[in-house]
């Protein structure tokens, strides 16, 4: 299991290839109704899933 990511977590990527017509004021996925941002401290792990970064690393 890659980086110990739980099976219920769906990993997605959002990449721009080439030039964009414009930049958004907010994340595009939030504007399109996916969900609002979550606190980054709850989402960024160190090396493996669930291993939160130490506060001094932020």
What is the torsional sign of CA 34, 17, 5, 46?
negative
Alpha helices, DSSP H only, in the chain? 28-31
pLDDT tens per residue, range 28-50:
777 888 777 778 888 788 888 88
Does residue 2 surpass a pLDDT of 60?
yes
Longest dimension (CA), the chain: 38
Whether residue 1 is contained in a domain is answered as: no
Give yes or no for a contact between 51 and 45, defined as CB atoms under 8 angstroms apart. Answer: yes
Q: Which residue range(s) make up the domain with 31? A: 7-58
Rounded Cα–Cα distance for residues 52 and 35 (Å): 22
**Counted domains in the chain:** 1
pTM over 0.75: no
Does residue 52 lie in a domain region?
yes
């Amino acid at each position: 299991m890659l980086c110990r990511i739980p099976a219920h977590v769906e990993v997605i990527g959002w990449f721009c290839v080439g030039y964009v017509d414009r930049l958004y004021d907010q994340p595009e996925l939030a504007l399109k109704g996916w969900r609002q941002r979550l606190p980054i401290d709850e989402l960024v792990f160190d090396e493996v899933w669930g291993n939160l970064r130490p506060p001094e690393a932020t």
